[in-house]
Amino acid sequence: MTDRLRDKVAIVTGGAAGIGQATAQVFAEEGAKVVVADINEKAGSETVSEIESHGGRAIFIPTEISHENEVNHVCREAVKTFGRLDILVNNAAAFILKDLGASQADWERSVSVNIVGTALMSKYASEIMKEHGGGSIVNVGSISAFISQPSFTTYSATKAAVVQMTRNMAMDLASAKIRVNCVSPGTVLTKTSNFHMGHLGMTLEEFMESEAPKHLLGRVGHPREVAYAILFLASDEASFITGANLMVDGGYTVQ
């Protein structure tokens, strides 16, 4: 365990699996006290147990980020348990892949989680950060905000919004010494990839063969590779960076 986030308190939404879980683990390894916020209680509790088994400190709070009362609760519980709040990672997302045939319910779920949920978490977390002299917010975008993909309209639209929200939030919160940045991953192998595979009608082997060549590095990413980018932006090492979007995509978008 090192100390890049020593004495820091962080909330990671969607922290029970994938990139969120890897981020929670990396943050704990770097000395942060971590609040794992997720709708999956079993996986969230398991993530906390894993962190604690390696000497870290973490709690799990079940949170549906599209519900304002639960957002307010998780932010207040972070302060109640650990005394402050320094970092927010907006990772939770609804992975709904639909074209214009999407139902109103599909759109409402995508927007309420990916856009409104991100805004609500940032609102309540930043109010607390202001009380403690500043902080850092890292949003998780996607290459889907920058490229065209078949039947991705619902997801891509919301991730494009997250990237733009990052810029606006950075401007609005700069005077409070709160930095706001974004990472946009390429294809990363997580449990969510199963949805993508099912959407494409592919096996894991077919999916890997299809996705790997799209990245200059010739492979898909792993959750920890994104987590380390989030760690950098969240840490004081990125103290002069705000309003930025970091592509963590193995070169996908430069081709």
pLDDT above 60: residue 84: yes
| pLDDT given at position 164 | 98
Helices (H), the chain: 18-29, 41-53, 68-82, 104-110, 118-131, 153-173, 193-200, 204-211, 223-234
Q: Comparing C-alpha atoms, which of 24, 40, 25 is closest to residue 91?
A: 24
Computed over every residue of the chain, the mean pLDDT equals 95
User: Across the chain, which distance is largest between two alpha carbons, in Å?
Assistant: 50
Q: What does the pLDDT average to over 188-216?
A: 82
Report yes or no on whether pTM surpasses 0.75: yes
Distance CA 211, CA 149 (A): 12
Helix (H, G, I), strand (E, B) or coil at 210: helix
How confident is residue 195, by pLDDT bands cut at 50, 70 and 90? low
- H helices present in 132-222, as ranges: 153-173, 193-200, 204-211
Where do the domains of the chain lie?
Answer: 9-187+224-250
3-state secondary structure of 221: strand
What's the rounded Cα separation, in Å, for the pair 107 and 95?
11
| Percent above pLDDT 70 for the chain | 98
Residue with tokens 């971590």: 34
Give the pLDDT mean for 182-210: 83
- Write down the pLDDT at residue 13: 98
Is 117's pLDDT higher than 90? yes
In whole angstroms, how far apart are CA 221 and each of 1, 212, 214? 24, 9, 12
DSSP 35-69: EEEES-HHHHHHHHHHHHHTT-EEEEEE--TTSHH
Query: At 191, is the pLDDT very low, low, confident or very high (cuts 50, 70, 90)?
Result: confident
Residues labelled as active-site residues = 155
Class of domain 9-187+224-250: alpha beta
Contact 125, 77 (CB under 8 A): no
What 3-state DSSP class applies to 11?
strand
Tell whether the model's pLDDT for residue 168 goes beyond 60.
yes
Which 8-state DSSP code applies to residue 103? -
* Residue linked to tokens 């207040």: 76
pLDDT at 207: 82
Number of H helices and E strands in the chain, helices first, is: 9, 7
- Is the per-residue pLDDT at 14 higher than 70? yes
Residue 198 — pLDDT band, cuts 50, 70, 90? confident
